[in-house]
């Protein structure tokens, strides 16, 4: 792959529109290779209207986010699980 | 933290030119909730026709009440950065939302050694950590390695020189890639394992490493740190992509 990507930190704003917790600090498991890593470390392509986030180990698409004026469309079929750190209750 | 993040109107209160092509913006943001060092904001510009575009910028300093600080590097042809560095004037509004990002952050309560490695404008969120450390009178041992092309490309020059002397427990090393100032002992060149070994912490100290810069720089530094024996779980990275304009 070329190096024309950002990382998952760039998704913090767009995902904060949808979720109350910071999803970039969550640990995701890739459907394709089974590797786990922080959402912040995914390789992110595109911006503003649509993002594609790929697994840094195998390049499989783990997350897609499309923002239209009145909706957000989130595709997580490449993510097997997300472990979200929470403050102790 | 509220469930939904909202766009706020920020106005420019002051600015400082860091280099010929980078400007620090001091923005007043009514209702700003505060933030942690390393977090960033999204900035949105909308023109008269309703066309809007947004970019992410790291916060360069701890919050000062409702005032926040961003440093913008002008990217040739970058519609947002050219506006913010050349046109945007005192009193002008922009839209801003944040703070966002909970991974690339340093908490002043942490006492573990920290290694900061900045490439170019990647210094901005790391400078926020240096400033937050000073503000909190933290004694966490910090080492900053700042890679820049030449002395003219350096941000925060005088403050970093002062901090290196005044902030006890902070070491600052500048690595020049193209041209070094007179008297520099290191030949100009890209950052390598020898630099990270000499100016960083030994892996046995188990430092938390924060690496920020262009994608290629971050990949190289992070891989080199792992090669030197640092635990990948203690390396936190933030990369700029091609969309920083």
Q: Which two tokens stand for residue A77?
A: 């079929």
pLDDT of residue A87: 84
**Which two three-digit tokens encode residue A59?**
């390049």
Q: Does any domain span residue A1? A: no
Sheet strand arrangement including A6-7: A6-7, A43-45, A50-54, A61-68, A71-75
- Average pLDDT of the segment spanning B17-34: 96
Residue identified by tokens 């941000």 is B155
Domain identity same for B158 and B225: yes
pLDDT at A89: 79
Whole-number mean pLDDT of chain B?
Answer: 94
**Tell me: the pLDDT tens digits for B210-229?**
999 999 999 999 999 999 99
Which of A59-63, B51-55, B138-142 bottoms out in mean pLDDT, i.e. has the lowest? B51-55
Scan for tokens 């944040």, then name that residue: B98
Residues of A in contact with B237 (CB under 8 A): 7, 40-41
> What tokens appear for B27 in the block?
């923005």
Prediction ipTM score: 0.89
> What confidence score (pLDDT) does residue B240 get?
83
CB distance from A82 to chain B under 8 Å?
A: no
Calculate what percentage of chain B has a pLDDT beyond 90: 87
DSSP letters of B119-184?
EGGGHHHHHHHHHHHHHTT----EEEEEEESSGGG-SSHHHHHHHHHHSTTEEEEEEESS-PPTT-
Checking if the pLDDT of B245 tops 70, the result is no
Q: Does residue B133 share a domain with residue B61?
A: no
Among residues of chain B, what percentage have pLDDT more than 70? Answer: 96
Q: Is residue B61 part of a domain?
A: yes
Which range is least confidently modeled, A32-36, B180-184, B201-205? B180-184
Residue-wise pLDDT for A33-78, tens only, equals: 999 999 999 999 987 789 999 999 999 999 999 999 899 999 999 9
Q: Range of B186's domain?
A: 114-240
The parent domain of residue A55 ranges over: 6-83
Question: Residue B123 is encoded by which pair of tokens?
Answer: 């210094």
Q: What is the pTM of this model?
A: 0.94
Q: What is the DSSP letter of B194?
A: H
Tokens, residue A83: 């472990």
Residue A35 within a domain: yes
Model confidence at B2: pLDDT above 70: no
**pLDDT band, residue B242 (cuts 50/70/90):** low
CATH of the domain at B205: 3.40.50.80
| Chain-chain contact of A13 with B56 (C-beta, under 8 angstroms) | yes
Q: For position A3, what pLDDT does the model report? A: 58
pLDDT at residue B244 in the model: 52
Quick check: is A89 in a domain?
no
Q: Which phi and psi (to 5°) does residue B117 adopt?
A: -125, 115
Q: What is the pLDDT of residue A47?
A: 73
Order across the sheet with B170-176: list the strands: B170-176, B142-148, B114-119, B208-214, B235-240
d(C-alpha B104, C-alpha A40), whole Å: 8
Cβ of residue B101 closer than 8 Å to a chain A Cβ: yes
CB contact under 8 A, A25 and B103: yes
Q: Are B213 and B119 in contact (CB under 8 A)?
A: yes
- Domain membership of residue B107 (yes or no) is no
The encoded tokens of residue A13 equal 């704003």
Q: What integer pLDDT is reported at residue B180 of this predicted model?
A: 95
Q: Specify the pLDDT at position A88.
A: 86
A70 shares contact with chain B (CB less than 8 Å): no
Residue B109, in any domain of the structure: no
Q: Which residue has the higher pLDDT, B131 or B47?
A: B131
Q: Are B75 and B81 in contact (CB under 8 A)?
A: yes
Say whether pLDDT at A2 is over 90: no
pLDDT at B125 (0 to 100): 97
Residues of B in contact with A10 (CB under 8 A): 56, 241
Element (H, E) at B25: strand B22-28
Does B100 contact A6 at a Cβ distance shorter than 8 Å? no
Mean pLDDT for B19-41 is: 96
pLDDT in tens, B153-167: 999 999 999 998 999
Can you give the CATH number for the domain in which B73 is found?
A: 2.40.30.10
Q: Given its phi and psi angles, is residue B195 left (phi above 0), alpha (psi -120 to 50 degrees) or beta?
A: alpha
């Amino acid at each position: 792959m070329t190096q024309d990507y950002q990382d998952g930190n760039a998704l913090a704003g767009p995902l904060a529109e949808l979720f109350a917790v910071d999803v970039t600090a969550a640990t995701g498991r890739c459907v394709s290779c089974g590797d786990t890593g922080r959402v912040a470390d995914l390789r992110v392509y595109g911006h503003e209207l649509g993002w594609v986030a790929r697994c840094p180990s195998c390049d499989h698409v783990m997350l897609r986010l499309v923002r239209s004026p009145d909706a957000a469309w989130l595709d997580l079929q490449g993510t097997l699980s997300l472990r979200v750190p929470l403050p102790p209750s | 933290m509220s469930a939904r993040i909202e766009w706020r109107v920020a106005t420019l209160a002051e600015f400082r030119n860091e280099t010929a092509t980078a400007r620090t913006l001091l923005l007043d943001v009514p209702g700003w909730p505060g933030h942690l060092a390393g977090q960033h904001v999204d900035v949105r510009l909308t023109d008269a026709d309703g066309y809007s575009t947004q970019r992410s910028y790291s916060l360069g300093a701890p919050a000062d009440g409702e005032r926040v600080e961003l440093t913008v590097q002008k990217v040739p042809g970058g519609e947002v950065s050219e506006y913010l560095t050349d046109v945007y004037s005192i009193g002008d509004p922009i839209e801003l939302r944040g703070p966002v990002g909970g991974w690339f952050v340093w908490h002043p309560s942490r006492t573990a050694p920290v290694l900061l490695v900045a490439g170019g404008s990647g210094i901005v969120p790391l400078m926020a950590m240096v400033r937050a450390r000073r503000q909190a009178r933290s004694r966490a041992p910090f080492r900053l390695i700042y890679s820049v092309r030449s002395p003219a490309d350096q941000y925060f020059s005088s403050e970093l020189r002062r901090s290196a002397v005044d902030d006890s427990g902070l070491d600052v090393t500048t690595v020049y890639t193209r041209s070094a100032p007179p008297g520099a002992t290191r030949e100009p060149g890209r950052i390598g394992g020898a630099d990270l070994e000499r100016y960083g912490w030994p892996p046995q100290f188990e430092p938390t490493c924060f690496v920020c810069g262009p994608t290629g720089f971050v990949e190289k530094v992070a891989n080199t740190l792992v090669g030197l024996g640092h635990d990948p779980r203690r390396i936190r990275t933030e990369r700029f992509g091609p969309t920083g304009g």
